[in-house]
């Protein structure tokens, strides 16, 4: 078991992940698009809010759990879909799912993951959600949806803000290719990280080779080659068919305006995730925390509202809940913990956030997380 003795906050895992991963994989996991403006905006938004500290309140017992979709969750967290999980650690998706189950929270598997969704559900256990990127080959995309249903996934998370493919500058400079491969740009970088090669890459090579994308319906490009292609034509008119095809919870991820939130509710979605993809798709998007209050006002009484983006501290989680979120998604926090220290790192990251959420509740004099509201939060002085 890898030691986690040197990790005391989520940001500590960033340095550990940087040491372990080749630059190509670290930038893919930790970086964002273009100038990182949206990425930084997500983080700085939390610093614009303060929580009101209250004293002489009986806080001898505290409850940091929530009810989500009719189930008790021990923490207000959901592990977000992160495509590189299986390439930062061997079968990393299973490790994330297993620790989510042990913690009593849902895990969301990306359709860009490296491990078959059936294997993740079987070996990870717990409540698994499946995130869907829609391919131009719609029938094959629906085959993946049926696989997720058969495998027992609790919710389908449709990503709606990334139907248009793009190449990130860092990935081009680092020689990252999809599917993953060795080339003149990345060869020295990869070979300079023997720990990653022996513990992540070698186990795949010994079992048949570097994995592709077993949970994504690839499509043929103009040259007839199978590619990881997204469907830019997918729109609101397709949602009725998807809603009919999926009998469980349907969640739209990537909502940033009240108008789109209302359309999602009208289309029969059970929940939305206020998300800008962690700054990975559009560098002029608002911070999700800034977008959250008006969206909650528009649809909070009609559907579940989840938020992600920039969460690094337990106080961030409490702030988001106070502004109306029903739950909070975390992605990079657990992905980088996985890279830095394997599955024990994921457990450590979740334990850190648990402790910080509990500490925040104590400091604001609120014994129950479910009872926080906007009366405890205000804008920080300029």
Residues marked active site are found at: 277
Per the DSSP assignment, residues forming a β-bridge with 67 are: 72
Q: Transcribe 127-179 into DSSP letters.
A: -EEEEEPPPS-HHHHHHHHHHHHHTT-SEEEEE-S--S----HHHHHHT--SS
Residue 299: both structure tokens together: 């649809």
Residue 79: both structure tokens together: 């592990």
Cα–Cα–Cα angle for 6, 11, 15, rounded to 5 degrees: 65
3-state SS, residue 56: coil
Is the CB of residue 309 less than 8 Å from the CB of residue 289?
Answer: yes
Is the CB of residue 230 less than 8 Å from the CB of residue 213?
Answer: no
Residue carrying the six token digits 């604001």:
364
How far is the C-alpha of 158 from the C-alpha of 273, rounded, in Å?
Answer: 10
Neighbouring CB atoms inside 10 A of 243's CB total 16
Which of the 8 DSSP states describes residue 62? -
Which of the 8 DSSP states describes residue 185? T
Distance separating the N- and C-terminal Cα atoms of the chain: 46
Contacts (Cβ under 8 Å, ≥6 apart) of 224: none
């Amino acid at each position: 078991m890898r030691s986690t003795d040197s990790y005391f906050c989520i940001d500590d895992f960033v340095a550990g992940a940087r040491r372990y991963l080749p630059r190509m994989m670290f930038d893919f996991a930790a970086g964002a698009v273009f100038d990182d403006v949206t990425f930084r905006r997500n983080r700085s938004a939390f610093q614009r809010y303060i929580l009101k500290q209250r004293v002489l309140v009986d806080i001898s017992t505290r409850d940091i759990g929530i009810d989500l979709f009719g189930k008790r969750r021990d923490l207000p967290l959901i592990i977000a879909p992160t495509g590189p999980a299986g390439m930062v650690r061997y079968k990393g998706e299973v490790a994330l799912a297993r620790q989510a189950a042990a913690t009593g929270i849902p895990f969301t598997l990306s359709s860009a993951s490296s491990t078959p969704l059936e294997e993740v559900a079987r070996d990870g256990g717990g409540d698994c959600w499946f995130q869907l990127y829609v391919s131009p080959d719609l029938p094959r995309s629906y085959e993946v949806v049926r696989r997720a249903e058969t495998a027992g996934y609790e919710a389908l998370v449709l990503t709606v803000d990334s139907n248009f493919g793009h190449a990130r500058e860092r990935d081009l400079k680092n020689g990252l290719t999809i599917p993953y491969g060795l080339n003149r740009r990345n060869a020295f970088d990869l070979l300079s990280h023997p720990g990653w090669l022996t513990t992540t890459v070698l186990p795949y090579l010994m079992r048949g080779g570097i994995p592709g994308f077993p949970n994504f319906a690839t499509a043929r490009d103009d040259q007839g080659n199978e590619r990881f292609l997204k469907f830019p034509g997918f729109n609101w008119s397709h949602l009725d068919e998807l809603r009919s095809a999926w009998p469980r919870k349907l969640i739209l991820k990537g909502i940033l305006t009240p108008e789109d939130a209302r359309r999602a509710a009208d289309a029969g979605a059970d929940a939305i995730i206020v998300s800008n993809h962690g700054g990975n798709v559009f560098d002029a998007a608002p911070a999700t925390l800034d977008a959250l209050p008006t969206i909650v006002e528009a649809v909070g009484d009609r559907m579940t509202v989840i938020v992600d983006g920039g969460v690094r501290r337990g106080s961030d989680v409490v702030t988001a809940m106070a502004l109306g979120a029903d739950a909070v998604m975390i992605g990079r926090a657990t992905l980088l913990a996985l890279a830095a220290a394997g599955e024990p790192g994921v457990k450590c990251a979740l334990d850190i956030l648990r402790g910080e959420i509990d500490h925040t509740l104590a400091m604001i004099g609120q014994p129950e997380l479910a009872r926080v509201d906007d009366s405890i939060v205000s804008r920080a002085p300029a």
